[in-house]
Amino acid sequence: MGSEILNYPNQRKHTYHFLDHAKEFSPVYLSVDVDVRNLQKSRDYIYTKTQTKISYIAFIIKGISEVLKKYPQANVSVKEAFSPKMAVYSEIIAKFTLDKKINKERVVLTGKVFNSDSKSLEEIQNDIEYYKKTEFQEIEDFKPIKMLHSLPTWLGNILYKMNVGNLKKRHNIQGTFTVTSLGHRPIKHFYPITSATLCFGVGAIEEKAKVIESSIEIRPILPVCLTFDHRAIDGALAADILAEIKEQLEKWGD
């Protein structure tokens, strides 16, 4: 059988440019399993009291943001160059992935939560809902993506790298950390490609046996993976951050 060679899809050009830029990064991978029993109880309590359904991603963004406040040395970004530069950001900006339809095609896009460390769970959820429920064409934040889709790939790639290459603007474009989830499917661990210093991959919650004070209990376990840029931080610091995020999520509501 023959093959049909097509031009690269316009609606995926932003992903192509992102992945090309991500080649500059030096990724290392860590993972933990998180017992989310307390988090689930808090989630149910909020829904009972307010009829507001808070997503797991909102909890995760909030938990990560609270931990990152203690680690400003990880809220950074590195620019590859003959003389490399590093930006240290005072603002914590969460980026999260979501599915959208563009010309009836399913594509991955990203939304942002600015000042995620100072926002409540409800405010974070509102930001997530805005990106999920608003049509692609109506979201102001997606204007640069629409432009990239309309340009020749070579030109879009140049413009993309010019924009994210500006360290003073990069955090507003890329966020200072990323959360991406495949929890809607029975995925356990996955390690996303990143163009930020910290990128968290979230799998599906699974009931597992866990030893609690010499007894075996069945608990809801959430796998959380971290891809970090080794140019920006070392493994010991990344391990500290991930361990504290695990603790933050497990002790929710205590």
Token pair recorded at residue 217: 């209990």
> Rounded to 10 degrees, what is the CA torsion of 22, 28, 34, 39?
-30
Q: Do strands 76-79 and 27-35 pair parallel, antiparallel, or not at all (unpaired)?
A: unpaired
The partner residues of 92 in beta bridges, in order of sequence, read none
pLDDT (0 to 100) of residue 195: 87
Q: What is the fold of 10-250?
A: Chloramphenicol Acetyltransferase (3.30.559)
CB 111 within 8 A of CB 95: yes
CB 67 within 8 A of CB 146: no
d(CA 60, CA 66): 10
pLDDT (0 to 100) of residue 183: 87
pLDDT (0 to 100) of residue 61: 98
pLDDT (0 to 100) of residue 124: 98
Residue type, 81: A
Q: What is the pLDDT along the chain (254 residues), one digit of tens a residue?
A: 678 999 999 999 999 999 999 999 999 999 999 999 999 999 999 999 999 999 999 999 999 999 999 999 999 999 988 899 999 999 999 999 999 988 888 999 999 999 999 999 999 999 999 999 999 999 999 999 999 999 999 999 999 999 999 999 999 999 999 999 998 899 989 999 998 999 999 999 999 999 888 899 999 999 999 999 999 999 999 999 999 999 999 999 77
Q: What is the pTM of this model?
A: 0.94
Place of tokens 């361990």: 243
pLDDT (0 to 100) of residue 104: 84
pLDDT (0 to 100) of residue 149: 95
Q: Which residues contact 75 (CB under 8 A, 6 or more apart)?
A: 68, 88, 89, 90, 92, 176, 177, 197
* Nearest residue to 179 via CA among 123, 245, 236: 245
Strands of 125-214 (E only): list them: 177-181, 198-202, 206-212
C-alpha distances (whole Å) from 22 to each of 97, 153, 195, 216 are 16, 16, 5, 42
d(CA 119, CA 107): 28
pLDDT (0 to 100) of residue 1: 63
